[in-house]
Chains A and B, each alone.
Chain A
Amino acid sequence: MTTAVERFDDEARRRVNAHGRTTVHENELLRHPVYTRVLHWSVAIFFLLAFLSGFALYTPWLYHALTPIFGGGPMTRLLHPWFSLGFVVFFGLQLLNWLDPMWWTPADSRWLKRIKSYVSNEEAVEAEDVGFFNGGQKMYFWTIAACAVIFLLTGLPLWFPRSFGRLVVAISSVLHDVSALLMLVGFIVHIYESTAQQPGTFHAMTRGTVSRRWAWTHHPAWYRQATGRDPRADYERARAATRRAGSLDPADD
């Protein structure tokens, strides 16, 4: 994976980032530049369309609920593979764009061991070795990558059944279904984590920035890398400052 692909990725990032703007206010950090945001929402839109049109045909219990969105059954069947191709193409670009920060590291294995305390909100701030993405985000990302490959490989026989054998199509539809269910679980968790669960995260993907507090709380190693400062020290300093400010508040007693 070298040169030509990398050059393409760099060129695409440079060109798209030249458009639009990301305003980084005081006490904020740039997290997702324009290119990343455009890719994320392109993937999201095509995913949602493919997802709804796919589940329309998944079970009779959803057929009448979801096919009208796309103008009926035949249109749903016609459009689904094209939505899916859009999803695969934009996710492929995002894969290149995020290949470096999504690479699995020993810190992610350590994160995975702590997943129970992560889920139960035991620690106020993340361990200091958590980088730009944590282990959970990386797992979701690589699950999507694997599912996208399975979707594509099994989707082609479903799209052109006459070019493949009856057995290939039958097996493909099972694998297609399994990938869809995996993606559904991941998608629900992703939406929850990035909105209600972690306030401030959604803003990173809409306007591109996060607060410094958000950064040292959720991704301390990235904070250190982006600012050159000690995340834990900055956090303690801010905490002491708010405590002092809080003690002046008579309502605190």
Chain B
Amino acid sequence: MPSGTLQIRAISGHSGAVPGAGAHREEEVCKYIDVTTCIGCKACEVACVEWNDMPFAQTTFDNTYQTMPSTAWNFWNLIKFDEHPKDDGSLMWTMRKDQCMHCEDPGCLRACPADGAIVQYTNGIVDFNQENCIGCQYCVTGCPFDIPKFNSTTKKVYKCTLCSDRVGQGLEPACIKACPTGCLKFGTKVDMLGLAEKRAAQLREHSGFQNAGVYNPSSISGTHVIYVLHDATKPEMYGGLPANPKIPATFTMWKSFAKPVGLLLALLAAPVAFFHYIAEGPKEAQPPLPGEHDK
């Protein structure tokens, strides 16, 4: 468990090296969410709003148990309810705690043009620093999970911090502390993955969920929030969890390679023009007047 300070691993919109990166050994943390034992009590939703001192958000009733359609700038933790028809015709309820996944390869951080607006700590937490945010919302486009939310009054983007303020002091996130069933756990990535695999095996062997598995998508090099799902082959049925989350190429190859190279090539026009002048000289109006540099 990290304690005291959080070491920074990656910084958004940052030119050059990340100061201090790799200077300290730190365990990677992980939030474990067992969807199969969530009872939908929403204690985590309340704990999140409480701990983060967020103004109360208006809830929306849409004939389900869900608090509102999606997370909001002041509501970072949402239980997504779904009624899923099973093969035998009966219905199954899924309740998935939706929040920032704290991707190992964060699309928001890759997309962000503002230096230091988004950082990734060595422990894997991806955190927004609103004082550096310029409100461009590129992170919204970069995120495969539709998590960063824009506040049009402050012109800043907000999301779950994985309670980096608590984790930095050796405490577990507020949602974890509030969970009454133990479907939420917090620890090192290695420990949580081991626990999740064990639970998935248990579901497969003892509870008849042949497709039970762990959601830790490799397309973004894994996440620091992992799910145990009854059916890991259909993550979409859990409130639209993407099976193959991807960062748009705009913020990977294009941003980190094509853009700087393109700019350098475009700027080549300046030395070309300069040396054209040196080599070829100007086109004077003809004929040059006596005394002009015409020889």
Interface residues of A (CB under 8 A from B): 55, 57-61, 63-64, 73-74, 76-78, 119-121, 124-125, 158, 161-162, 166-167, 169-171, 173-174, 177-178, 181-182, 184-185, 188-189, 192, 196-200, 211, 213-214, 216-218, 235, 238-239, 242, 245-246, 249
4 tightest A-B CB contacts, nearest first:
A170-B248, A73-B134, A192-B273, A188-B269
Interface SS of chain A:
helix
Q: In the complex, how many angstroms separate the beta carbon of A69 from the nearest chain B beta carbon?
A: 14
Chain B residues 259 to 283 lying within 8 A of chain A, measured CB to CB, are 259-260, 262-263, 265-267, 269-270, 273, 276-277, 280-283
Residue from A61, A119, A120, A170 within 8 A of B141 (CB atoms): A170
Query: Is A167 a contact of B248 with CB atoms below 8 Å?
Result: yes
Q: Is the beta-carbon distance between B285 and A63 smaller than 8 angstroms?
A: no
Report yes or no: B263 in contact with A217, Cβ–Cβ below 8 A: no
Q: Which of B1-31 contact A (CB under 8 A)?
A: 13-15
Who on chain B is nearest to A124 by CB?
A: B286
Do A185 and B266 form a contact, CB below 8 Å, given A120-B280, A217-B286? yes
Q: Are A58 and B248 in contact (CB under 8 A)?
A: no
B155: Cβ under 8 A from any A Cβ: yes
Within 8 A of A (CB), among B135-187: 135-138, 140-141, 146, 150, 155
Q: Are A239 and B140 in contact (CB under 8 A)?
A: no
| Cross-interface CB contact of B134 among A76, A125, A174, cutoff 8 Å | A76
Asked if B213 is at the interface (CB within 8 A of a chain A CB), the reply is no
With a cutoff of 8 Å between Cβ atoms, the chain A residues found around residue B267 in the complex are 184, 188
B288 within 8 A of A: yes
Contact partners of B289 in chain A: CB under 8 A = 213, 242
Q: Which residues of A contact B117 (CB under 8 A)?
A: 73
What CA separation (Å) do A196 and B281 show in the bound complex?
9
Whether the Cβ atoms of B114 and A73 lie closer than 8 Å is yes
Q: Are B259 and A58 in contact (CB under 8 A)?
A: yes
26 sampled A-B residue pairs with Cβ under 8 A:
A58-B113, A59-B259, A60-B15, A73-B117, A74-B133, A119-B280, A120-B280, A121-B281, A167-B248, A169-B141, A170-B141, A174-B254, A181-B262, A185-B266, A185-B269, A189-B273, A197-B273, A197-B277, A197-B283, A198-B282, A213-B287, A217-B283, A218-B285, A242-B287, A242-B288, A242-B289
Q: Are B141 and A245 in contact (CB under 8 A)?
A: no
User: Min CB distance, A176 to chain B, in Å?
Assistant: 10
Give Cα distance in the complex from A251 to B113, angstroms.
Answer: 62
**A162 and B137 contacting across the interface, CB-CB below 8 Å:** yes
* A239 in complex: contacting residue of B15, B137, B287, CB < 8 Å: B287
Chain B residues positioned under 8 Å from A218 (CB to CB) = 283, 285
Report A-chain residues with C-beta under 8 Å of the C-beta of B250: 170-171, 173-174
Within the assembled complex, what's the spacing in Å between the Cα atoms of A124 and B270?
Answer: 24
The answer to whether A64 and B115 have CB atoms under 8 Å apart is yes
Structural contact, B15 and A63, CB atoms closer than 8 A: yes
Q: Are the C-beta atoms of A213 and B281 separated by less than 8 Å?
A: no
Q: B residues near A, CB below 8 A?
A: 13-15, 113-115, 117, 132-138, 140-141, 146, 150, 155, 248-251, 254, 259-260, 262-263, 265-267, 269-270, 273, 276-277, 280-290
In angstroms, Cα B170 to Cα A116, docked, is 70
- Cβ contact within 8 Å between B270 and A188: yes
CB pair A74–B269 under 8 Å, yes or no, is no
Q: A162, B150: Cβ atoms under 8 Å?
A: yes
> Contacts A167-B248, A170-B248, A181-B262 known; A77 to B136 CB distance under 8 Å?
yes
Q: Nearest CB to that of B260 among chain A residues?
A: A59
**Which residue on A lies nearest to B150, using beta carbons?**
A162
Beta-carbon contact of A184 and B277 below 8 Å: no
Bound-complex Cα distance A21 to B270 (A): 35
How distant is A242 from chain B, measured CB to nearest CB, in Å? 5
- The answer to whether B273 and A188 touch across the interface, beta carbons within 8 angstroms, is yes
Min CB gap A192→B, angstroms: 4
**Residues in A neighbouring B140, C-beta threshold 8 A:** 161-162, 166, 169
| Residues of chain B contacted by A235 (CB below 8 angstroms) | 286-287
Q: Distance in Å from the Cβ of A236 to the closest Cβ of chain B?
A: 9
Whether B287 and A63, one on each chain, are in contact in the complex, defined by CB atoms closer than 8 angstroms, is: no
Knowing A167-B248, A188-B270, A189-B269, the reply to whether A196 touches B277 (Cβ < 8 A) is: yes
Q: Which residues of B contact A245 (CB under 8 A)?
A: 290
With A and B bound together, what is the CA distance between A157 and B222 in angstroms? 30
Chain B positions within 8 Å of A74 at CB level: 133-135, 155
Say whether B285 contacts A214, CB under 8 Å: yes
Residue of B nearest to A125 (CB): B286
Complex Cα–Cα for A235 and B113 (A): 55
Q: Which residues of A contact B263 (CB under 8 A)?
A: 55, 58-59, 181, 184
For B13, the chain A residues whose CB sits under 8 A away are 60, 63
Report which of B113, B155, B276 forms a contact with A63, defined as CB distance below 8 A: B113
- State whether A57 and B281 are in contact (beta carbons under 8 Å apart), knowing that A161-B141, A188-B269 are contacts in the complex: no
